[in-house]
Amino acid sequence: MSSMYNAGMHSKSLEVLKSIFGYDSFRGHQSEIIESAISGEDTLVLMPTGGGKSLCYQIPSLIRPGVGIVISPLIALMQDQVNAMQQLGVHAAFLNSSLDATQQKLIEKQLVDGQLDLLYLAPERLVKEQTLTLLSKIDLALFAIDEAHCVSQWGHDFRSDYLTLNLLTERFPDVPRMALTATADQRTRKEIVHRLSLGQAKFFISGFDRPNIRYAISNKTNAKKQLLAFLQNRRGEAGVVYCLSRKKVEDTAAWLCTQGFTALPYHAGLSPQMREYHQNRFLREDGVIITATIAFGMGIDKPDVRFVAHLDLPKSIEAYYQETGRAGRDGQAAEAWMVYGLQDVVRLQQMQASNVSSEQFKRSERNKLDSMLGFCEDTKCRRQLLLNYFGDDAPEHCGNCDNCQIPPETWDATEAAQKVLSCVYRTGQRFGVVHTIDVLLGKETDKVKQFEHQKLSTYGIGRDISESQWRSVMRQLVVRGLLQVDVDGYGGLLLTDECRLVLRGEQNLLLRKDNVAASKIGGKRKSYKTPVQAEHQILWDDLRECRKRLADECNVPPYLIFHDATLKEMIDSRPMSRMDMLTITGVGQNKLDKYAADFIEVICNHAERES
Ligand code: ADP
Ligand code: ZN
């Protein structure tokens, strides 16, 4: 039966891409994936966030006879996805617990009458006998299993309902299945194949890289000041600022508001109504900043998040990559910015130590944190480090991270390290960073006098280096495991076995120079592109205003009307007719009919004023 669709299939999918979605060409593996699905094959699709997974099942659902069933774990996202489809003029609906009986009946009727192209279902709904019976009565184009990694018991998003999806093979042997995910190391991948019986499926694996995201990490000196410098050129842009604690989330939001930003807190301690309200404002208004704990993110599909800032260190590279990955889904330039300091390291280590869990679990958590710290301190290209960590190849230089743009210097810190280590030793391995530095700098503090540390041979031997440099040295010694923080006690510093070689002068130590200038780069970099050039600012604002008005009328987020990239293309090519409009990326037939006139009016008015 597959050959039936083969003839002219490629041109058919291209035609759909253009007329419905308004896009000119496929990206990456999209075209092959779509062809496979149309010809009835099972597929496994691994693509990074923003890679364009949705099109892979949407287009075959439109082209194959019958309805495409999309299985998604996030009920909260279904409305958004269905809205997006309806904006394109596609007949889509969802069935979940948020609908009342009458609404459900209506959708079931549409389904049976063949009026739907796409139906979104949560897995627990799908595997109900009632649903299965309903589906067996109609033509099915395919099953798309979104977020397929939820089937993995090792992953952090495990859903037991996903395990039952196996029954699709028995109940619907002739309907092609497509499993899609953005997070898949080898182990998860194997599990998906095994648990969803995808042994016969074709694999389409794209790299993890997110080339439009710029990575930058610097040492924390004054976090608020650093954040402000970073945000200064980004007024009016949407972003997320992650903090570790609820209190800090609240404080940071309040403080950003005093600085003239629209910032809203989000954490698990807020009421569900409040969280939803803040999330909706973030989705629907332009330029809102969300300050959040890690409770925020899953289920946010906002494509135009321009930056993700971390004021505290994530506990693993996996977490860092997932959180920063929420920036720039639309493929436009975005920033992953972070500041971190020794205090973060100590706090995370303490949190891990106080966790009641098995030794094995603790060790694995500890290893993950160590990898994260090593990543922060490394002088190599950030992207290369990240991709290698996930098992992908990468070029040595990406040119779009802080380490590539301003290569960090290193210095021979052997002598400095020896001073720190012997000072820790002589003070009895019971004091923390602050006191150790006081002794090195020869400060006459009460504590120094109380313990008579002015009599030690290490008192004042570190006056050649500044306090912030000492902090940098100590942070790096902790990260490299030459010093250990006594996390069970009061945060005193301890020597480790590994430090002996350095202490005895048998090993040289190269450390990263903390570049004070580099921490400001995020704020005033020449290579950072503001969304539009200054001379286009007025038109840009007018177009955004028009988009916001239309979005409010339809009660959807602005990005469902047009993406930023589409508005930017309008600025570049100034379409003044429907014909011109159709050439703009992201303008398909339905949106042309609904919105083109409004935007053409804005552009024409602008042209008149300019002439
Ligand atoms: P994912 O689910 O992989 O994170 P999406 O399916 O949401 O990604 O796609 C990300 C964005 O890229 C969407 O806004 C989508 O419309 C856009 N996109 C996808 N494919 C193309 C394409 N071939 N040309 C232009 N834009 C595309
Ligand atoms: Zn790089």
What is the pTM (predicted TM-score) of this model? 0.84
Residues 41 and 66 in one domain: yes
Mean pLDDT across the chain: 90
Ligand number with the minimum distance to the CA of 14: 1
- Please indicate, yes or no, whether residues 447 and 305 belong to a single structural domain of this protein: no
Ligand 1 proximity of 329 Cβ (cutoff 6 Å)? yes
- The beta strand positions in 86-238, using DSSP E, are 92-95, 118-121, 140-145, 177-181, 202-205, 213-219
User: Do 569 and 457 fall into the same domain?
Assistant: no
Boundary of a domain, candidates 141, 172, 205: 205
Do 392 and 426 fall into the same domain?
no
Nearest atom of ligand 1 to the alpha carbon of 47: 3
- Whole-number Å distance, alpha carbon 85 to ligand 1 midpoint, is 13
Is residue 519 situated within a structural domain? no
Whether 71 lines ligand 1, by a CB cut-off of 6 Å, is no
Helices (H) and strands (E) in the chain, counts: 29, 17
Neighbours of ion ligand 2 (CB under 5 A): 381, 383, 398, 401, 404
**Is 384 found in the same domain as 364?**
yes
Dihedrals phi, psi of 188, to nearest 5 degrees: -65, -40
Q: Does 230 lie in the same domain as 195?
A: no
How far is ligand 1, taken at its centre, from the CA of residue 27, in Å? 9
Whether residue 273 sits in one domain with residue 258: yes
Q: Decide: 183 and 322 in contact? Cβ < 8 Å.
A: yes
Burial bucket for residue 48 (CB in 10 Å: 0-12, 13-18, 19+): buried
Ligand closest to 80 (CA) is 1
Domain contains 291: yes
The CA–CA distances, whole Å, from 591 to 43, 90, 214, 228 equal 31, 11, 32, 38
* Residue after which a domain boundary falls, among 485, 514, 543: 514
Question: Are 147 and 283 in a shared domain?
Answer: no
Give the number of the atom of ligand 1 that is nearest the alpha carbon of residue 303.
14
The burial class, CB within 10 Å (0-12 / 13-18 / 19+), for 494 is: middle
Q: How far apart are CA 13 and CA 559, in angstroms?
A: 24
Q: Is 214 in the pocket of ligand 1 (CB under 6 A)?
A: no
> Distance from the CA of 510 to the center of ligand 2, in angstroms?
21
Q: Ligand 2 centroid to 470 CA: how many Å?
A: 27
- The answer to whether residue 527 is domain-embedded is no
| Model pLDDT, residue 345 | 85
CATH code: domain of residue 572 = 1.10.150.80
Contact 296 CB / ligand 1 (< 6 Å): no
Are 496 and 465 found together in one domain? yes
Give the distance from CA 88 to its chain's centroid: 26
Cβ of 55 below 6 Å from ligand 1: yes
Residue 174 belongs to domain spanning: 2-205
- Band of the pLDDT at 524, cuts 50, 70, 90? very low
Residue closest via CA to ligand 1's atom 12 equals 52
Q: For the ranges 221-235, 322-336, 338-352, 563-577, which has the lowest average pLDDT?
A: 338-352
pLDDT on residue 530: 62
CA nearest neighbour of 135 among 145, 144, 146, 143? 143
User: Does residue 126 belong to any structural domain of this protein?
Assistant: yes
Inside any domain, residue 522: no
Across 580-587, average pLDDT:
95
* Chosen domain end from 406, 422, 440: 406
> Within a domain: residue 521?
no
Q: Are residues 189 and 220 in the same domain?
A: no
Measured in whole angstroms, how far is the alpha carbon of residue 428 from the centre of its chain? Answer: 44
Atom of ligand 1 nearest to the CA of 53: 3
Tell me which of 233 and 108 has the higher pLDDT.
108
Our answer on whether the CB atom of 26 is closer than 6 Å to any ligand 1 atom is yes
> For the chain, how many structural domains are there in total?
4
Q: Quote the ligand 1 centre to 303 CA distance (angstroms).
A: 9
pLDDT greater than 60 at residue 153:
yes
Q: Give the per-residue pLDDT at 519.
A: 46
Would you say residue 332 lies in a domain?
A: yes
Do residues 196 and 248 both lie within one domain? no
CATH number at residue 314: 3.40.50.300
- Whole-angstrom distance, CA of residue 341 vs CA of residue 476: 10
518, HSE (Cβ side, Cα atoms, 13 Å): 23
Q: Please report which confidence band the pLDDT of residue 116 belongs to, taking 50, 70 and 90 as the band edges.
A: very high
pLDDT digits (tens, 9 = 90+) for 194-237: 999 998 999 998 888 999 999 999 989 899 999 999 999 898 89
Domain assignment present for residue 96? The answer is yes
393-404 pLDDT, tens digit each: 889 999 999 999
CATH number, domain containing residue 489: 1.10.10.10
- Same domain for 271 and 357? yes
